[in-house]
Structure 1
Amino acid sequence: MTTGFTHETLGQRVVFAPAGAAGAVAAEVGRRDARRVMLIAAPAERRLAEQVAGDVPVVAVHDDVRMHVPVEHAQRARAAATEARADLVLSVGGGSTTGLAKAVALTTGLPIVAVPTTYAGSEATPVWGLTSGHEKQTGVDPRVLPASIVYDAALTTSLPVDLSVASGLNAMAHCVDAMWAPHADPLDIALATEGARALATGLPEVVADPGGLDGRQDTLFGAYLAAVAFASAGSGLHHKLCHVLGGRYDLPHAQTHAVVLPHVLALNAPHAPDADRRLAAAFGSDTALGGLEALRTTLDAPRALRDLGMRESDLPGAVAAILPVVPPSNPTPVTEDTMTGLLRRAWEGAPPR
């Protein structure tokens, strides 16, 4: 039986356009009556982005994209948008590219049309993040929520399998965290459950047939549901932890989420039986952790933070930085000892427990 709750639905157009991104993007830009578009894409995706934007009035192309959106990169992008007198930002790429577009929108108010090429999910949330020094600051602002998203599975086929796996497990982390995040409600949980099911179906197909569209389409759909659930539920322990690790130690975003996820699930599932049951059903397993670990084995997912560049000497500082940001609503109480053990196992690549 569902109890009383309040849920805020975000206003955003979402277009799934298999093998039809260019036409869909032109239509979405036209709906905004934009005449001076700033295109943001990382150097590796610039050619693809220009093809997607072929029928769009682009007046500036900005490719100064970096992971975790350093403040100085955000400032340069904002200046470029002002100089170009842009009236819309078109982002084509992964989470870092979308994040930079959000940084521009945060101070300029320009609308965003986002075209994801990974499964990061940033395009469906009003969450922004900026890194200064070794600290990553995040916030929520309706100005950074893209006005439109165009999803085209064909644009993800160039994403290597290992990055597809990491990005997809990053999306899975949105589903898992939405089960117990501070503002989670029954709609978030329903979206997260179906998102986990779609990701668990799609990701093995991506690994088995990297050039196929069916698995990538399911994975994109799951990533969108996951992001919508996360946007409403807020950041739980997993995301708080990963934001600290990414900001302080410049670890790769998706891979860090992929490594840490089973350890947070192992910690919280025993004290969140409904979430455990729902996720287990989504994975087709007896337990959520068992299902996730079986999926990770199938996907040959990354397993150790030390493989991503984190040093053993970083662990005490990471624990000290994470403890103050642990959500009070986390299902399992978090102490210095439990967090030390969790991070130690994630660093070593040991089995979660």
Structure 2
Amino acid sequence: MRFEHESLTQRVCFASGGAAALVRAEVERLGASRVMVIAAPAEAEPARTVTAGLPVVLRWDEVVMHVPVEMAERARAAAAEHGADLLLSVGGGSTTGLAKAVALTSGLPIVAVPTTYAGSEATTVWGMTERARKTTGVDVRVLPRSIVYDAALTVSLPVPMSVASGLNALAHCVDAMWGPRVDPVDQALAGEGIRALAAGLPAVVADPAGLPGREQTLYGTYLSAVAFSSAGSGLHHKICHVLGGMFDLPHAQAHAVVLPHVLAFNAPAAPEAEQRIAAAFGAGSAVGGLERLRRAVDAPRALRDYGVTEAEVDTAVRAVLDVVPDGNPRPVTAADVQRLLRAAWRGADPRPASDEEESRQ
């Protein structure tokens, strides 16, 4: 066994019902005195609750999916104008993403308080969209210094959105199993992340107001993001970034729809990773385990349900080919991408690549 693994420096505070006290302690620990709070209008109430008593100089509520470049520039200018010395994000991946966009150029520290299962708070990945094209990058400056996880803040997240967001987290685990920089530590974290998410999401569906399922899902989300940040972005995330940028698709739902098709495509060419994923699901196969979970939680199934046409999906094939990561478990052709995207568009049952090849012979 031979590998290199780099651990990131980040403080993680996890306590249901304890967000306000934990946030205050983290702001004081970082010595901040001029806090810029970033929270979408839907998160205004929890944001005010967890920031009570803090030295807030600005509350920013202009938050949009995929972080448009022009919005990032406005938020950066506002942070500079108000002399902010810390960014406090309260919300989902779009909110965290905007805080990262500000930190990318300013170097300001971030304290992240997630209210969904996006996982962005535990990665060095940033993303912004301009002219229907999403650009992503990796920079340690965007990694929040502290994360405050409070499962009670996710109870208000509707079940369908909880499911989609949790499957987005699970996609981090799957991509981490064969990402371009994957190592055994990443795979161990991803495996435990899959186990926690597979246990947590059905519990959230069964008892939306209960904390045990929310806690397991949030715990799995963190593990998935740490594994993904280390292993790097795999084929699944490259596809979803292209689709999100081109068609302004809802981020979590796009991941939930595309994931089983990428897993079915790659799994036969990565038997060791496939066995790890299957074991984490407690299933005979990785694809079977994921499908069992998707049925149990009534997961999103088709891209066409989100306003994109099959013809439009075909236009994404070249853009996906341009970003296929090095070291994907198997070669990727234009025909492969087209078949995968069309299956995701229809909401077809995922089929292992070997089955597809046999059906064409």
TM-score where L is the length of structure 1: 0.99
Matching residue of 1:287 = 285
**Which of 188, 197, 207 matches 2:195?**
197
Q: Deviations over 1:112-138 (max 9, x none)?
A: 000000000000001110100110010
What SS is found at the alignment partner of 2:327? Answer: coil
SS at match of 1:56: coil
Classify the secondary structure of the residue corresponding to 2:9. coil
Partner of 2:317: 319
Kindly provide the CA deviation profile for residues 283-304 of structure 1, in whole angstroms up to 9, marking residues without a partner as x.
1110000000000000000000
Share of identical aligned residues, percent?
69
Alignment correspondent of 2:114: 116
Specify the alignment match of 2:336 in structure 1: 338
5+ long unaligned stretches in structure 2:
352-361
In 1, the alpha carbon distance for the partners of 2:145 and 2:342 equals 41
**After the TM superposition, which residues 199-218 of structure 1 pair with which residues of structure 2 at under 5 Å, given as runs?**
199-218=197-216
Any conservation in 2 of the 1:283–1:292 contact (CA below 8 Å)? yes
Q: Distance in 2 between matches of 1:136 and 1:14?
A: 29
Structure 2 counterpart of 1:278 = 276
CA contact (8 A) 1:14 1:148 kept: yes
Alignment length (residue pairs) = 351
> How far, CA to CA, are the matches of 2:265 and 2:278 in structure 1?
15
C-alpha contact 2:314 2:341 (8 A) present in aligned 1: no
In the alignment, the residues of structure 1 paired with residue 20 and residue 104 of structure 2 have an alpha-carbon distance, to the nearest angstrom, of 26
**Could you tell me which residue of structure 2 aligns to residue 179 of structure 1?**
177
In structure 2, the partner of 1:65 is 63
Q: What is the aligned partner in structure 2 of residue 54 from structure 1?
A: 52
Larger mean Cα displacement after TM superposition, 162-171 or 325-334: 325-334
How far off is 1:47 after superposition? 1.4
Structure 1 residue aligned with 2:356 = none
The alignment status of 1:103 with 2:90, answered yes or no, reads no
* Aligned match of 1:219: 217
| Pairing partner for 1:18 from 2, 16, 38 | 16
User: Residue 336 of structure 1: CA displacement?
Assistant: 1.1
Task: Select 2:264's aligned residue among 255, 262, 266.
Answer: 266
Supply the distance in 2 between the matched residues of 1:16 and 1:5 (Cα, whole angstroms).
Answer: 30
Aligned residue number for residue 305 of structure 2: 307
Q: Aligned partners of 1:222, 1:318: CA distance in 2, in Å? A: 31
Partner letter of residue 15 of structure 1?
C
Partner of 2:73: 75
Distance in 2 (alpha carbons) for counterparts of 1:222 and 1:85: 36
Does structure 2 conserve the Cα–Cα contact (< 8 Å) formed by 1:22 and 1:55? no
Tell me whether 1:236 sits opposite 2:234 in the alignment.
yes
Deviation at 1:320, TM superposition (A): 1.1
> For 1:144-171, what per-residue CA distance to the aligned partner results, in whole angstroms no more than 9, with x for missing partners?
0000000000000000000000000000
Q: Please report how far the alpha carbon of residue 312 of structure 1 lies from its aligned counterpart in structure 2 after TM superposition.
A: 1.4
* Distance in structure 2 (CA, Å) of the matches to 1:343 and 1:142: 32
**Whole-angstrom distance in 1 between the partners of 2:285 and 2:239:** 23
TM-score of the aligned structures, taking structure 2 as reference length:
0.96
Alpha-carbon contact 2:117-2:165 (below 8 Å) kept = yes
Secondary structure at the counterpart of residue 325 of structure 1: coil
Q: In structure 2, what is the Cα distance between the partners aligned to 1:119 and 1:292?
A: 18
1:236, 1:327 within 8 Å by CA — same for their partners in 2?
yes
The alpha-carbon deviation at position 316 of structure 1 amounts to 2.1
Which stretch of structure 1 is more off in the superposition, 305-314 or 229-238? 305-314
Greater shift, 321-330 or 294-303, is seen at: 321-330
SS in 2 for 1:38: strand
CA deviation vs aligned residue, 1:35-83 (integer Å, no higher than 9, x gap) = 0000000011111101110121111000000000000110111111111
User: Structure 1 unaligned runs (5+)?
Assistant: none
Tell me by how many angstroms 1:328 deviates. Answer: 2.7
CA distance, structure 2, for counterparts of residue 319 and residue 96 of structure 1: 25
Letter in 2 for 1:67: M
Could you tell which deviates more after superposition, 341-350 or 323-332? 323-332
For 1:146, what is the secondary structure of its paired residue?
coil
- Structure 2 distance, partners of 1:318, 1:310, is 11
- Distance apart, 1:333 and its partner CA: 1.4
